[in-house]
Structure 1
Amino acid sequence: MIRGVSGRRRQWEGVFFILPSLAGVTAFILVPFLDVVRRSFTEVMSGKFAGLKNYRTIFSNSAFLQAAGNTIRFTVVCIPLLLLISLAAAVMLKRQKRFGSFLKSMYLMPMAIPVASVVLLWRLLFARSGMLNGLLSVFGVGAIDWMNLDYAFGVLVFSYIWKNLGYDVILWLAGLSGIPESIYEAARVDGAGEWRCFVSITMPNLLSSLYTIAVLSFLNSFKVFREAYLVAGDYPHGSIYMMQHVFNNWFRELSIDKMSAGAVVNAAVILALVLLLQRAWEKE
């Protein structure tokens, strides 16, 4: 009897512990999002029910389709690159005993730099009269307008990887630190080389970390809009015209109906991708 009362008391203690956070999430995230869903089915001026009209409008909008395609392309290119580069850096840092702490600090340095400072750095490097063109002129290469040509996509990819590399490296290191060193020692005694140890020991033990890092990297990829917007403005080169540019321009035009429909579609796609990743990793 006493055990039953104690168990129920602990259960209610857990409920009361999460209640403030649940109330905050409900008030500031869930309720506003439900209002966005409602607005996506209504007309912006009259508030009348419009059915799927707003959704048909955004899917026939060339700017929305271009931004969606660029965002998908950016994600498909950046996420695998970031995961591979950060994993390689984490494995090297794990083996580096002498300068490990210094290198970790260097990897995390971009995260501490304000976005405004990053934008100034990009302009200094990639402007038509910037440092990169100055360096290329030494080799007889003419000035390139990096942010107004197809090179702009590569600049944005570089910016995202540079900004988020340290964050992913730390997460990989946390996963690597959970693998017992005795497993590697036993494998080496049996004649396994470094590559065999990596494939048969490291990667299987990092699958749970891989899911978490992939999801966080995917969500962080939407923050790259700040750099793209501050460097190139409302209407950048077509290759870096992202979903956030569309929403920003629609907000300025007070097209709340199109914004709401686009936000619902965006949230549904993100949720579906996260659930698919989770399902794939659960099978593994």
Structure 2
Amino acid sequence: MKKTKAYWLFLLPSLLGVLLFYAIPFGFSLYYALIDNMGSQSFVGLQNFSDTLANSLFQSAALNTAIFIGLSVPLGMALSLFLSLCLQGMKKGRAPATMLLLLPLVVPSGTIVYFWKVLFDANGLVQKFLLQMGFSHEAVSQNGWAMGVLVAVFLWKNVSYNIVLFWSGLNWIPKTYYEQMALEGAGKWKQFTNVTWIYLSPTTFVVLLMSIVNSFKVFKEVYMLYGAYPSPDIYMLQHYMNNQFLSLNMQKLSSAAYILFLVIGIVLLVVFYAQKRVTDAYQ
């Protein structure tokens, strides 16, 4: 009991901060989602949620966000796992390679965005190169690679963090398992599927969880690259909510936030359920 009280005592400041600055304001925002406007403040029930779901701009933003997550999360996880396995298999030069791969963790986002902006801006190096190669101004100005640029920025920003997680999980796998598989004549692929992938599954679910959460935090980079009103192909849910906030439309902002909260919650519950099923299957 004394240890439990001590734990709660140390947790109390953080819990109070979360309650004061996150939980209470988020709960209070439900009031704005259930009224018609800030003037009359009449109760309208779920009308704001219905209007938000029927809004074509919100639908487009939700689709772009889903496409971005569907591209960036699997690519980030696959690339992180591949690089972690490469680091594990290196005999020489592991330290400098690790430092280079972890460099994005300490580089500020503004520096990264400025680098990509120099390359892919309207007057950037890539567009000038394409024009010199003979592409028309119309084809270059369509900026069809904008989603690819965002995925590349996401990978640059988050792959290093995922490498740390995968590297930690790989180091917990006993080397005797690989030695036993090698004695039985198993190749690298069988060792990966029968040992690495199985024992790395808890870490994989953590990486998946963190990648999904981090994919919703890419707004800062998108905003710095393309502003508050980018092309329709990369208009995200964060743009929609940010613009509603700037226009002081608290009803649409609150309803969109709660819809996003429910969707993220359902996705995370599915991930946790899948993790439990996989963990139980290998126990």
Q: TM-score, normalised by structure 1?
A: 0.91
Task: Tell me, in whole angstroms, the C-alpha distance in 2 between the residues paired with 1:196 and 1:280.
Answer: 23
1:134, CA displacement in angstroms?
Answer: 4.2
1:136, CA displacement in angstroms?
Answer: 4.2
Q: CA RMSD in A?
A: 1.8
Structure 2 residue aligned with 1:3: none
Task: Tell me, in whole angstroms, the C-alpha distance in 1 between the residues paired with 2:245 and 2:142.
Answer: 24
| Range moving further from structure 2, 111-120 or 236-245 | 111-120
Alignment of 1:87-126 (within 5 A): 87-126=81-120
1:156, CA displacement in angstroms?
Answer: 1.0
Q: Choose the corresponding residue for 1:20, options 13, 16, 36.
A: 13
How many residue pairs match? The answer is 277
**Is the contact made by 1:128 and 1:144 (CA closer than 8 Å) also made in structure 2?**
no
Structure 1 residue aligned with 2:146: 152
**Is the contact made by 1:133 and 1:144 (CA closer than 8 Å) also made in structure 2?**
no
Task: Tell me, in whole angstroms, the C-alpha distance in 1 between the residues paired with 2:137 and 2:181.
Answer: 54
Structure 2 residues without counterparts, runs of 5 or longer: 279-283
The amino acid of 1:90's aligned partner reads S
Alignment of 1:33-182 (within 5 A): 33-45=26-38, 46-136=40-130, 139-142=133-136, 148-182=142-176
Structure 1 residues without counterparts, runs of 5 or longer: 1-7
Q: What CA deviation, in whole Å up to 9, does each residue of 1:218-261 have, x standing for no partner?
A: 11111221121111112111111000110111111100011000
**Is the contact made by 1:147 and 1:237 (CA closer than 8 Å) also made in structure 2?**
no
Task: Tell me, in whole angstroms, the C-alpha distance in 1 between the residues paired with 2:60 and 2:266.
Answer: 21
The amino acid of 1:280's aligned partner reads A
1:210, CA displacement in angstroms?
Answer: 0.8
**Is the contact made by 2:165 and 2:207 (CA closer than 8 Å) also made in structure 1?**
yes
Task: Tell me, in whole angstroms, the C-alpha distance in 1 between the residues paired with 2:166 and 2:139.
Answer: 37
1:116, CA displacement in angstroms?
Answer: 2.2
Task: Tell me, in whole angstroms, the C-alpha distance in 1 between the residues paired with 2:141 and 2:235.
Answer: 12
SS at match of 2:255: helix
Task: Tell me, in whole angstroms, the C-alpha distance in 1 between the residues paired with 2:238 and 2:74.
Answer: 22
Task: Tell me, in whole angstroms, the C-alpha distance in 2 between the residues paired with 1:125 and 1:9.
Answer: 58
Task: Tell me, in whole angstroms, the C-alpha distance in 1 between the residues paired with 2:262 and 2:59.
Answer: 16
**Matched-pair identity in %:** 33
